[in-house]
Amino acid sequence: MTVERWIRLIAGSFIMISLALAHWVNPNWLWFTLFVGANLFQSSLTRWCLMEDILIKLGVGGKKPARQPADC
């Protein structure tokens, strides 16, 4: 799995977990949801993502495979 797919998996998980925590524990967890969304937004503009750097340093996947199969 590529780093980009790991980032999507992690971001989606963080958002769902924080929404569940906001619903059942404390609404202040929505700030974490906002933080994740803001990071996704800034990474789309700047093409830099801290989670990508962390995953690469941990040795998870590569930036992009040489040839990606079609997802459709």
pLDDT by 10s per residue, the chain, length 72: 899 999 999 999 999 999 999 999 999 999 999 999 999 999 999 999 999 999 999 999 765 555 555 555
Q: Is position 68 within any domain?
A: no
Contacts of 50 (CB under 8 A, 6+ apart): 39
Phi, psi at 47, each rounded to 5°: 60, 25
Give me the pLDDT at residue 70, please: 57
Give me the pLDDT at residue 66, please: 53
Give residue 12's domain range: 3-57
Give me the pLDDT at residue 63, please: 57
Q: Is position 62 within any domain?
A: no
Give me the pLDDT at residue 61, please: 76
CA distance 36 to 26: 17
Q: Is position 11 within any domain?
A: yes
Sort 66 into a burial class: Cβ within 10 Å, 0-12 / 13-18 / 19+: exposed
The domain tally of the chain equals 1
